[in-house]
A = this chain, B = another copy of it.
Amino acid sequence: MASSLCGERGAQLTQLRRRILELLWAHDRPAGAYELIEALRKADSRPIGPPTVYRALEFLIDQGLVSKIESRNAYIPCAHPERRHDCLFVICTECGSTVELEDPRVERLLAENATQLGFQVERRVVEVEGKCADCVEAAKPAQAPEAHG
């Protein structure tokens, strides 16, 4: 699927790039570049250098297949690569689980704000940090645990 998107655009989803994309999909939260390097090293025994991984990430980001989470220096596969867009991320500060959303209303408001200043918008970084439902639940002080025992 990702490969067909790349093919249409004349871009090469090479083996390395595909593997990195697969690693990101297999990871249940945003992965750091060095986590990817480590994962590749374990799988191959032959080490992959940082520039190689960063170049692959750059390619995947250019193709809209991956996004960088700026507030965490980490990378996450993009759920909707067929549409070019900037996402809105909601990130759990406890467990790192991250949800990708889109909200045209947010995009419109940001564009409005920027335009009033005479800015030409190129990219939006919108990241909401907080506690996910699971971690909120887990943090409760065992008060009235109705479904517990």
Interface residues of A (CB under 8 A from B): 70-71, 88, 90, 92-93, 99, 101, 103, 105-106, 109-110, 113-114, 117-133, 136
CB distance from A28 to the nearest CB of B (A): 16
Report chain B residues within 8 Å CB of A118. Answer: 132-133, 136
Instruction: Count this chain's copies in the assembly.
Output: 2
A129 adjacent to B123 (CB under 8 Å):
yes
A130 adjacent to B126 (CB under 8 Å):
no
A109's partner among B106, B117, B121 (CB-CB below 8 A) is B106
CB distance from A109 to the nearest CB of B (A): 5
Beyond contacts A113-B128, A122-B131: 5 other A-B pairs, Cβ-Cβ < 8 A, are: A90-B113, A90-B117, A90-B119, A123-B129, A123-B130
Query: Whole-angstrom distance between the alpha carbons of A113 and B103 in the complex?
Result: 8
Query: Whole-angstrom distance between the alpha carbons of A122 and B136 in the complex?
Result: 12
CB distance from A51 to the nearest CB of B (A): 19
Q: Which residue of B lies closest to A119 (CB)?
A: B130
CB distance from A129 to the nearest CB of B (A): 4
A103, A122, A128, most chain B CB atoms within 10 A? A128
